[in-house]
Structure 1
């Protein structure tokens, strides 16, 4: 691939453009908002100038509702040899594209399974897709050249190609992406009118659950409007589980021993099923999830402190598998949780203590 046209310079479009440009592809940028194009271009994502002729691949990075019309327009004008979209919903855009008379041979629906709670070109980065799945939904009509161009794009972005049926993809993302967004927002909404004393007690748990609740509502309305059925089905099942859990919690207050035991059993079942489901989430590099030990370090809120911890861990020959930060309310301090292999716990603790770090006992 030598040339590409990226239509839509938000988070995903600009990130793809940055990755392609970094690997020598001439990228042309287009967006209905000129200021976003200028911002993306200033970041090094490509040029604002339109291509002089057909590019190798057009990447349509617009909301799901605009995908079909945009792809048809690309085909009508002959702007590219092949065209893909990167919307997070695949079935509806494909059906709308077909209804508009688009050429299915030259179009392939795709979805990079990567993102951030921030949106816009300033949130973009060339490494956004590194090691992440990138779903491709070819049909029997998809030209081999278009599929190969899409695979080349995925490789240039450092992602991992996954081939799926469009509707199967939509059911999958309803479970692993769209429903979690709504659940996170629902939990965060409980905080809106909560007592200030309660809010000040927020710790790592509530921050983990509500992180993606900071996402752009307008963007998510576009996404959910294109995939409402599968999301509603999952939420309906979740609602039934919630009803059972509420009943179990009520039974825990019962004086009757059997009712109390039934409530405890119901809660235990929810927690057990949660453990089983969490164990299926892929771990590092997409491998089976690993179980790590946690070393908690007390840290002050000063520049360079995190870098110093990582440097000290590296000097001890310990690889940090994951990291979490929990800030102390009302203080310029907090805790850094370092996740490491079990055999690395004692060497890491000894090295950190030797270098003056305070550790919290688990």
Structure 2
């Protein structure tokens, strides 16, 4: 393509062949402006997973099952975040309702970061402070360009405040529907056999007027499966579910896509058309159409769903969980 031709994000390549346009997406446009946070369970039931500390750590090699999973998750989640930094905190610490903030971590920092567990393991598993923290965080981030929020919450226990969580989530959904908060998604992952799957389902099954589902959840049998499961869930949650529509310069719909938006968009345009607009998830992206070059060798590409690279889905488990 000629040097003066401009390709606008989220497109990576655009060709014109007569009245046909082939446009390749660089990434899923609904992930534009995404701000990500990771909240890791810091309750007392997690102590064995983090391994012994202090004098006990000197008696035998420490096997921290959480740390490699945290590093893996953060490297993946940072690739989704708009500025490559994920907000990280331990939750359910102290009396069970406290948060211990770790900070903002990039993928590079996460590779070597130590996750020994919170300073004080929690006596209960209270999630409401997590939701309040994330909402407050998103209100701040909107001021600097955030358009959507994703909170990943890990637990190995039954929640102490399930009803409070559901009530607060209902209020959050109302704020989103009214346009006072950006769209948010909560990925809720349980680990081990002490989680309350029925409680997780009650929270995740809720639908809210004008918003739909806020939650998705699944359960991993072992800590070693956690990061892989989170990556799969996030990837599924962030893909385009509502399809999209292509318009010409006069606002006439040229093509509509139902279900997932493919990675390669192919559509016909009027001979005089100089640009097209993709509308998806309430966002509009206008791309000038390059002039056709007869010497270019064009190849049609197979349409594939827009997906960020992620590990293969985790193997089937006795706790299958659900995604919404």
Instruction: Tell whether the structures are fold-level matches, with TM greater than 0.5.
Output: no
Structure with greater helix share of residues? 1
Q: TM-score scaled to structure 1, two decimals?
A: 0.24
Q: TM-score scaled to structure 2, two decimals?
A: 0.27
Q: Which one has a bigger Cα radius of gyration? A: 1
Structure with greater strand share of residues? 2
Higher relative CO (Cα under 8 Å, sequence separation at least 6) belongs to 2
